[in-house]
Amino acid sequence: MYTLQELASLVGGIVIGNPELKIAGVSEIQHGKPGTLTFLSNPKYKKYLAGTKAAAILVADGDLLGSRAGIVVKNPQLAMTKILARFQSPLRTPEGIHPTAVVDETATIDSGVSIGAYSVVESGARVGKNTVLGSHVILGQQSEIGEDALIHSHVVIYHHCFIGDRAVIHSGTVVGSDGFGFVTEGDTHYKIPQNGSVIIGDDVEIGANCAIDRGTIGNTVIGDGTKFDNLVHIAHNVKIGRGCLLTAEVAIAGSTEIGDYCIFAGQAGVAPHLKIGDRAVFAAKTGVTKSLPGGKIYAGMPAREIREQNRRDAVFSQVVRLEKRLEKLEHKLFS
């Protein structure tokens, strides 16, 4: 439990109301609970402000509080992120190797490591200091995980893959599976050996049930600070820069290079062998079929700057309306 002043100091905010007010947790504004702190960031939720039962509210504009207690900060969502971390219950991960885990004698296990039940660490692999492997994790031959990483249960990391410090990988994800590479002659598909690797940088988070393929000859690379949602697929030899955000069901085809701080909304896809510039943003279901410069927002299939796509959508809607009007006129004229 914290006082309102303690939480305000944590986020660099200004207290409105009783600074000694006790806060026992956090809650959603529309489902506010007594004794908790909530926040207002999205204007859509302003309608819940008056009726919430939360004891205090994080806001950007103190006038919204009226007579209620709260904390005024520049970015309520970011402030709530920091406060949530204070109330988060830590995972119970006892240091050491579970008796049912199998760790090859040639593997290197640094200090403070936790390896869960039925996990396997194969020959020549390395697990960095204070890293946690959940149950049923497979770490392949010669693969390495850095320090302070968290690998959740049922993650499979193939051989010769390299994962940086403070990485988080959620359950069901596979790192280092073969890329989809075949040469066809006649009616036979000949598999291309996938002899490259996967290199994942520091502070990367990979959601559940993602697939990151190893390179064919070179490496598949995920830059520092990049975050994946669930169900993301990264094909062989893809290069993704620093600080990118990829949401659910995004797929990046082979050998594409993506710059730093790009954003891909749900179900966006990129064709192979393309280059995307820094800070490009792609709306949901966007299909990228050619290389595109950074610093712009794209939408549609094929991807266009979003203003152009919106104009095209508007014209299409007008055409549909005109078509319906013509049908009515034809019916009147010929009936």
Would you list the DSSP string of 119-142? -EE-TT-EE-TT-EE-TT-EE-TT
Digits of tens for pLDDT over the chain (335 positions)? 999 999 999 999 999 999 999 999 999 999 999 999 999 998 899 999 989 999 999 999 999 999 999 999 999 999 999 999 999 887 778 899 999 999 999 999 999 999 999 999 999 999 999 999 999 999 999 999 999 999 999 999 999 999 999 999 999 999 999 999 999 999 999 999 999 999 999 999 999 999 999 999 999 999 999 999 999 999 999 999 999 999 999 999 999 999 999 999 999 999 999 999 999 999 999 999 999 999 999 999 999 998 887 777 777 777 778 788 888 877 777 76
- What distance in Å separates the CA atoms of residue 163 and residue 155, rounded to the nearest whole number? 13
- What distance in Å separates the CA atoms of residue 285 and residue 137, rounded to the nearest whole number? 33
Q: Where are the alpha helices (DSSP H) in the chain?
A: 4-11, 76-87, 306-334
Class of domain 2-87: alpha beta
Q: How many CA atoms lie within 13 A of 201 on its CB side?
A: 16
Domain spans in the chain, listed from the N-terminal domain onward: 2-87, 96-306
Q: Which of 31, 136, 236, 273 is catalytic?
A: 236
Q: What is the pLDDT of residue 331?
A: 78
Q: What is the pLDDT of residue 323?
A: 81
- What distance in Å separates the CA atoms of residue 273 and residue 259, rounded to the nearest whole number? 14
* Strands, E assignment, 136-237: 138-139, 144-145, 150-151, 156-157, 161-163, 168-169, 174-177, 182-185, 188-191, 197-200, 205-206, 211-213, 219-222, 227-228, 233-234
Phi, psi of 119 (to 5 degrees): -80, 160
Cis peptide bond upstream of 302, omega within 30: yes
Q: What is the pLDDT of residue 216?
A: 97
- CATH architecture under which domain 96-306 falls: 3 Solenoid (2.160)
Strand pairing report for 168-169 and 150-151: parallel
CB 127 within 8 A of CB 110: yes
Phi, psi of 174 (to 5 degrees): -120, 125
Q: What is the pLDDT of residue 320?
A: 74
Enumerate the β-bridge partners of residue 206.
Answer: 169
Contacts of 201 (CB under 8 A, 6+ apart): 164, 221, 222, 223, 224, 225, 226, 242
Matching fold, domains 2-87 and 96-306: no
Q: What is the pLDDT of residue 329?
A: 79
Q: What is the pLDDT of residue 324?
A: 83
Give the Å distances, CA to CA, from 288 to 174, 264, 277.
Answer: 25, 11, 13
- What distance in Å separates the CA atoms of residue 293 and residue 302, rounded to the nearest whole number? 15
Is 152 in the active site?
Answer: no
- What distance in Å separates the CA atoms of residue 73 and residue 63, rounded to the nearest whole number? 12
Measured in whole angstroms, the distance separating CA 252 from the mean position of its chain's CA atoms is 14
